[in-house]
Amino acid sequence: MKKIKRLKKGFTLVETMVGLTILTLAIIGPLYIALNSAWSIRSSRDFFLSQYLAQEGLELIRYKQDTIFLGCVNGDAFCVPADLGGGEYETPSESAWRHFIDQVASTTVPVSCAVNGGCLFDIATIYSAPTTTPSFFSLQSGACGNFFQDESGRKQVATSSLYYAFFCKDNASSNAIQTPFRRVVTITQIVPNNYVCPSYDCYYNTDLRIESKVSYIVNGFTKFVTVTDYLRPRN
C-alpha cells in the first residue's frame, strides 16, 4: 500500500497582501481616530481661548470706563470738571466720559485705540493705569505682538492678588512662552449725522464702538474671532 505524501502549502502572495491590508486597516483606523480627536480637542481649545481673549478686550475697556466714572462721582482728584463758561461746569458723568474718551480713544496722539488701526494691550496695561492714560502698544510694536503665557499658568498683576495667564511680551515673566493669539482693539467715535458740536459738547454726544479682534494660526491658516460692543456715557 502506497503512502500518499501531503505537500505542505504556504500562503500565496494574494493571501499575504490581503492579510497585510487587513492588519494595516486595523492599526491605522484607531490611530486616525485618535489623531483626529487630538486635533479636534486642540482646535476647540484654541477657539474657546480666542473667544475668551476677544471678550476680555471689551471687558477691560468697560472696566476702564467704570473706574473713571466712579472716581468722578466720588470727586477724586484726577477728575477735574471742565469750565463750560457762564459759570457752568461739567457734571461728574460728563467729566468721566470726557476723561474716558481722551484716555482710550484720542485721535490726537500717536498710539491710541482710535488711530492707526487700533491698539494692543493686556490686563496689566489697564490695571496699572486705572484712571490715567494707559501705555497702549501700537500694532507695529514688538513689545506686544502675540500674547505670552506663563508656564505656571499665572503671573501676579501689578501689586494685587489677581493672577492671570496671558500678557504682552514686555509684561510677561522670563519663563513665559509665546502663544499663537494676537488681539487688536479698535475704538471708533460715533457722532450723529450732520451734527456740529461746539467745544466740550462733542464729547457728550459721542458714542464709542469697540471692536476686539483675536487672530491665531491653525495649520497654516489664520482664523479670526471678533466681538463688538457700543459704549455710551454713564448716568
Instruction: Give the tens place of pLDDT for each residue, 118-145.
Output: 999 999 899 888 899 999 999 998 899 8
* 21 falls within a domain: no
Q: Of 97, 127, 125, give the one whose Cα is nearest residue 111.
A: 125
Identify the domain containing residue 62 by its residue range: 28-231
The residue-averaged pLDDT of 192-214 equals: 78
Residue 175 banded pLDDT, cuts 50, 70, 90: confident
Among candidate residues 147, 138, 127, the one with its CA nearest the CA of residue 46: 147
Domain membership of residue 17 (yes or no) is: no
More confident residue, 32 or 132: 132
Q: Is residue 131 part of a domain?
A: yes
- Checking if the pLDDT of 195 tops 70, the result is no
Q: What are phi and psi of 8, to 5 degrees?
A: -80, 120
* pTM higher than 0.75: yes
Q: Is residue 5 part of a domain?
A: no
**Dist CA 215 CA 180 (whole Å):** 8
The runs of H, that is alpha helices, within the chain are 13-73, 92-104, 123-127, 201-204
Contact 105, 208 (CB under 8 A): yes
Domain count for the chain: 1
Q: Is residue 4 part of a domain?
A: no
Query: What secondary structure letter does DSSP report for 191?
Result: -
- Is 13 a domain residue? no
Residue 41 is assigned to a structural domain of this protein: yes
Give domain status of residue 147, yes or no: yes
Band (pLDDT 50/70/90 cuts) for residue 190 is: confident
Whether pLDDT at 53 is above 70? yes
